[in-house]
Each structure stands twice: as C-alpha cells, then as structure tokens.
Amino acid sequence: MGDRAAPLLKVLVVAVAVAAVGGAQAWKLKEGFYEHSCPRAEQIVKHYVRRHVPHAPSVAATLIRTHFHDCFVRGCDASVLLNGTGGAEAERDAAPNLTLRGFAFIDRIKSLVEQECPGVVSCADILALATRDAIAVIGGPSWRVPTGRRDGTVSIKQEALDQIPAPTMNFTDLLTSFQSKGLDLADLVWLSGAHTIGIAHCNSFSERLYNFTGRGGPGDADPSLDPEYAANLRRTKCTTPTDNTTIVEMDPGSFLTFDLGYYRGVLKHRGLFQSDAALITDAAAKADIASIADSPPEVFFQVFARSMVKLGMVDVKTGSEGEIRKHCALVNHY
C-alpha cells in the first residue's frame, strides 16, 4: 500500500468512529420500517426505478441533487417537493428547472405506493429510496436506507437560497455549511463526488471563464482553472459570458457513469464550479481525493455510501412529527 492511501484510511477510521449523526431523531429510523405497514413499499419504488431509469439515466443525477437539497433545508422531510401556496415561493422555486423532472418522477412513484397503502409511506422516504435505487441502476454504489422519515409541512424559497451550498463557495464556507448539518470534511469531499454524474449551466461558472476579478474579458479567467480547459470551454461550450442555456458535463466523457473521472478532473484543475476547485485548496481534502483517484472505484463507492447514509439522516422528522403527505407537492390540509 502506497503512501497516498494513508490519509484516506485515516478518514475511514474517523468516519466509523463518529456514530452520532443526523440529530436527535436519526436513531429512530430503521431499515424495513414499512415491513408490516406496507410490505411492498420498497419493492414498488425499486421496480419503478429499474423500469424507468435505464431509459432516462440522467434522472439519477436529478434525484441525488433533489435528495441533497431536501436534506440541507429543514432536514430530509420532502419539503423540497412542496409547491408554493398563496403566491409564496417554496424551496422548489429556488431549484434549477432541470430538477423539476425529478419531482414528477417521485410523484408517480408516490401515487403507486398510495394505491397499495394509502397514507402510510412518506415522500421523504420515497425520495431517499428512489435516489439509492437510481444510483445503483446506473452502476454506482448502493447503501442502506433506514426509513421512518415523516414529511414536513413548510417550504420556503429563501431558506434554500441561504442553506444550499453555493457553487461559488470556497472551502471554508463549504465546510461550515456541511458542519451546520452535522456533516464533516469527509462528507463534503465524498458527497461532492456525485458531480461525477453532474451537469452545469454555463452561467453557473461563466465568471471563471470571462470575468473572475470583475475586469472582464477572456484574460480575466480564474487562474485556478486549467487555462487550456477554460479556452476550450469558451470556444466550444460557453461561447458568451451570459449564456444561461448551454449545459456542460461536470465529468466530460462519462457523465452518466458513476466513476472516478470527476475527482481526476478536479486534480487536473478542471472542476467546473469554484466549489469543485475549492476541494483541492485544503491539504487534507486534496490528499484524500488523490488517494481515492488512485484506488479501485469500490473504495470511492464505500466512502460515498457511508456519507449518503449520514446525509439521509440529517434532521429527520419521526414519530408524530410532521405528517405522511398524500401528495408530495401538497400538505394534507391545504
């Protein structure tokens, strides 16, 4: 085993030692929560995902982004799926339009589950299960999903804008954001790996290509971005500073494959967002990424899976908190 594996092993040991995550309620989740109340629930989710994701593999990225967003705002309570009411904008109104496809996907699974067992299975659990199953379908890792989450009744756009880590964040701010949710440096580094199947709109990083300091022009690119890669993006993808429609793969060439391409790109200074580039500005994070990029994918799968379990437990509602929504977009007594 080479020197480069050492920091990663340290991270693994630390992650195992940290048992208490996800706030006071997380321990109340358990695998197979619906075993008696809706025995086929997990099977219905899996079946639907296995039938549809192979024809639309990009749904996997949409789901994981939606689940992440959900857990970061008011905990994993499906608040991201709620429609705004009475003219007020909800969390989903802060989400990129591409995410909307994921909402419809979850709504369809929910209606199948409701047919089987009305009012029993939460939207928050369906989102967590469908995310896990979709990543597995595209050949990524799988992980345990303890269930028993309850659905929230409140969704506020501004909270999403304030709490979802922004693509422009530096390492300090990213880590602070993750820590505010009970997640740590390892979770930041490994959950960022979901960008292996990510896509980005040009305008979410175009200042790195055209206007990094505010002077403007192609001479004003972010020096932490590989200059050849930046020039190529300006020439072939994001040809104007204001392009808000073109989509760029975050792991070009394998953006539908859950692999190590994203981390290898980040190490080559080809991370698209400032928040991707930020990961190698921290010595410990950079060493972990270098180590993972040199290891078999199974090692990444293992640490990613562990962080997904933690993410899925952030500030969950259980017991008599919240409700089991009948429709994922609406609170029950709306």
Ligand X SMILES: *[C@@H]1O[C@H](CO)[C@@H](O)[C@H](O)[C@H]1NC(C)=O
Annotated binding site for substrate: 165
Phi, psi at residue 25, to the nearest 5°?
Answer: -90, -15
For the segment 75-94, give every residue that binds ligand X (CB under 6 A).
83
**Contact status, residue 268 vs residue 224, Cβ threshold 8 Å:** no
Q: Any contact of residue 176 with ligand X (CB under 6 A)?
A: no
Shortest CB 225 distance to ligand X, Å: 16
| Neighbour-count burial for 231-256, b at 16+ CB within 10 Å, e otherwise | eebbeebbeebebeebebbbbbeebb
Q: Any contact of residue 329 with ligand X (CB under 6 A)?
A: yes
Shortest CB 158 distance to ligand X, Å: 16
Q: Which is nearer to ligand X, 135 or 156 (CB)?
A: 156
Q: Could you tell me which residues are annotated as the binding site?
A: 70, 73, 75, 77, 79, 91, 165, 195-196, 251, 259
Q: Which is nearer to ligand X, 34 or 212 (CB)?
A: 212
What is the Cα–Cα distance from 220 to 201, expressed in whole angstroms?
20
Q: Which is nearer to ligand X, 89 or 116 (CB)?
A: 89
For the segment 87-146, give every residue that binds ligand X (CB under 6 A).
97
Shortest CB 255 distance to ligand X, Å: 20
The residue from 172, 236, 240, 332 that contacts ligand X (CB under 6 A) is 172
* Residue pointed to by tokens 């299960």: 129
Part of the chain binding ligand X (CB under 6 A), chosen from 35-43, 141-149, 240-248, 269-277: 240-248
Shortest CB 3 distance to ligand X, Å: 27
Choosing from 36, 52, 69, 201, the catalytic residue is 69
Q: Which is nearer to ligand X, 195 or 208 (CB)?
A: 208
Q: Any contact of residue 320 with ligand X (CB under 6 A)?
A: no
Distances in whole angstroms, Cα of residue 216 to Cα of each of 211, 225, 240, 241, 322: 4, 16, 12, 9, 49
What is the Cα–Cα distance from 216 to 306, expressed in whole angstroms?
42
Shortest CB 327 distance to ligand X, Å: 5
Q: Which amino acid is at 183?
A: L
What is the Cα–Cα distance from 24 to 232, expressed in whole angstroms?
49
Shortest CB 49 distance to ligand X, Å: 22
> Would you mind telling me the total number of residues written for the chain in this entry?
334
Show the DSSP H helices in the chain as ranges: 5-17, 41-52, 59-72, 100-116, 123-137, 157-163, 171-179, 185-191, 206-210, 227-236, 261-267, 274-277, 283-293, 297-311
The CB density around residue 99, as the number of other CB atoms within 10 Å, is: 17
**Contact status, residue 151 vs residue 323, Cβ threshold 8 Å:** yes
The residue from 43, 236, 244, 332 that contacts ligand X (CB under 6 A) is 244
For the segment 210-229, give every residue that binds ligand X (CB under 6 A).
211, 214, 216
The CB density around residue 31, as the number of other CB atoms within 10 Å, is: 11
The residue from 89, 114, 116, 173 that contacts ligand X (CB under 6 A) is 173
The residue from 111, 170, 180, 232 that contacts ligand X (CB under 6 A) is 170
- Let me know if 333 is a catalytic residue: no
Part of the chain binding ligand X (CB under 6 A), chosen from 34-42, 227-235, 298-306, 325-333: 325-333
Residues of this chain that interact with ligand X (CB under 6 A) are 83, 97, 170, 172-173, 211, 214, 216, 241-242, 244, 327, 329-330
Q: Which residues are catalytic?
A: 69
